[in-house]
Structure 1
């Protein structure tokens, strides 16, 4: 079968069964197919950008046109093979996560980032999957993606039937909640498409109510400039003072809207060793992470999504969390003395960004 031919009904059924089976063998948990048309989603994206809700993520606006039409990324593309990959390691327990958030001297790193960088894990497997498809059907045009290009991944996954948009704007699935990564293969093969799934959020607003910074300004409306994930990861500048106290001990990302979501009682654990916790990131204290030198940061986060923010932003985030611990009732005086001394020791050699946040922390 060539890329320009249309599979017969028998071929389509056989190919789809084969695709599902091969995707599972490669570690993907679900697969659906959609076309490349994004409809009104492009208008909503443009409105979001015009309101400036993307903050310092200039690339969102710079590549807005490409996001609006996937076929511009892959000329001739007519379908998108969308897959999910669960990332929760077996040891993660949501009750434990809430307890860590309540312990001001502990460092909380977003659950997805405690293992290997998902970009590399998924991209390699998607590329292998595409090559397997090519061996099965012959040469065809394709390109693989996983949060690696201007592509409206969540909207495509929603259209493909992998789930529905929750009120926090993340994709939700009845069988695995929201704790999964998304990947895509754009292809020029006219495969049959899947049906969309209805929303199942109902009247629930738990994610809106739990957000520490009120970043979910209304159902399905997110202001990234207020989001702790944006503030600790994408934001290259000082963290606005009005959000520092609300950050608590979250030093990389924020999972509150996922932890509270009723659908995540169905969150599936990943069997892939790639996503297993590394370097104690699910149990580390603020002082332990603060003690890392820049070389240790780079070595321990090699192959991790966290390394992308760099040592300075890492220390910036930790300094805010340490300041919050100094102001918290839940930390003992001994712990506070150790935190204060660690900040004082670091101040003389700190760069401008980190020094500002250390000074704020010491005055908390």
Structure 2
């Protein structure tokens, strides 16, 4: 297969066979994003995510990150489990309102998406290689200094929403992104027009006001950052705003009108594990370190470790005082961790107990 246009069509078809909903192709010029990215870093909005700055502008220069790259094949894969499709937004809203429930982001309830997408992109590369012979490529999925949303936007997979995530008219935003950097000069696809209009639902609903302006996120206030990326103590002034969101936060997606079109995944990899769509804070706070290791095997959750898991659960249990103040099971669970060897855990447990005594 020597015709690059024919090859591009074939790559897209092979990608769909591998479980991707759509694939598009972009060139590597992201120079229009460099000034905005630097301004974001200068404001300190990346918080403790030092890796965001450590590679300089390589993040916006794919050909510097992987020499020889002239195109990026972008791919999206939906992760909403088929079993959760009917009424998923109403169900998630209900769990957020139940102070005793542990709310974990939908994307993290199944298998680690890094493993799933990386393996399937590697299979796609292998399929291309079988067709045309050896070629230069490298696979990424949220694993390197790559401007994923900017590349996906440029390739026409969707547009950047005001919450900074990618939106698609046929699929909302409940999908993962992956990339295949290549030295094949494939024909590029065209960007699509943005369709957020005057809507500000994501900005209005953000519990911590992390979306400081349309298309601008202060990660230091984002619940996903606070519960996943932040290694130390969660700022006291933000704890009560986190509610019962103990790993990530879906609110900006939950209330986005475009997610009425969210697509379900056909892959069992993203099916819910260990009842994480219906678990209580008390139950998850009771996990020992061995329980945590066993129950998060192959999951994205494992990256935070047991200590931060307990920290997050303690904040949730403290916030449960709004609807379950003085609940005997909650108090017993918290008191059982008062002598935990981690000062970080003890600090958040004591804060939680104070919330129940106010």
1:349 and 2:349 equivalent? no
CA distance in 2, matches of 1:30, 1:295: 39
1:184 and 2:175 equivalent? no
CA distance in 1, matches of 2:294, 2:64: 38
Deviation at 1:14, TM superposition (A): 2.1
1:331 and 2:324 equivalent? yes
Which residue is 1:58 aligned to?
Answer: 50
Q: Show the 5 A alignment for 1:202-221.
A: 202-221=197-216
| Structure 2 contact 5–187 (Cα < 8 Å) conserved | no
- Of 212, 221, 225, which aligns to 1:226? 221
Q: Which SS does the other structure have where 1:36 is aligned?
A: coil
| Structure 1 contact 67–151 (Cα < 8 Å) conserved | yes
Count of aligned pairs: 352
Which residue is 1:359 aligned to?
Answer: 350
1:29 and 2:21 equivalent? yes
Q: Which SS does the other structure have where 2:294 is aligned?
A: helix
Which residue is 1:4 aligned to?
Answer: none
1:284 and 2:279 equivalent? yes
Deviation at 1:45, TM superposition (A): 0.7
CA distance in 2, matches of 1:228, 1:64: 26
- Of 193, 199, 223, which aligns to 2:188? 193
1:101 and 2:96 equivalent? yes
| Structure 1 contact 165–199 (Cα < 8 Å) conserved | yes
Q: Which SS does the other structure have where 1:121 is aligned?
A: helix
Of 250-259 and 128-137, the range deviating more from structure 2: 128-137
Q: Which runs of 5+ in 2 are unaligned?
A: none
TM-score (norm 1): 0.95
Deviation at 1:239, TM superposition (A): 0.3
1:146 and 2:146 equivalent? no
CA distance in 2, matches of 1:347, 1:62: 38
| Structure 2 contact 141–179 (Cα < 8 Å) conserved | yes
Q: Which SS does the other structure have where 1:49 is aligned?
A: helix
CA distance in 1, matches of 2:289, 2:329: 21
Q: C-alpha offsets along residues 295-336 of structure 1, whole Å, 9 cap, x if unaligned?
A: 01011100000000000000000000000112x1x3275xx1
| Structure 1 contact 64–150 (Cα < 8 Å) conserved | no
- Of 156, 159, 166, which aligns to 2:151? 156
CA distance in 1, matches of 2:184, 2:294: 42
| Structure 2 contact 163–211 (Cα < 8 Å) conserved | yes
1:136 and 2:131 equivalent? yes
TM-score (norm 2): 0.97
Q: C-alpha offsets along residues 177-232 of structure 1, whole Å, 9 cap, x if unaligned?
A: 00000000000011000000100000000000000000000100100000000000
Q: Which SS does the other structure have where 1:40 is aligned?
A: helix
Which residue is 1:87 aligned to?
Answer: 79
CA distance in 1, matches of 2:156, 2:341: 49
CA distance in 2, matches of 1:350, 1:256: 33
- Of 257, 273, 297, which aligns to 2:292? 297
CA distance in 2, matches of 1:291, 1:345: 9
Deviation at 1:281, TM superposition (A): 0.3
CA distance in 1, matches of 2:8, 2:72: 13
Q: Which SS does the other structure have where 1:347 is aligned?
A: coil
CA distance in 2, matches of 1:63, 1:113: 27
CA distance in 1, matches of 2:67, 2:248: 35
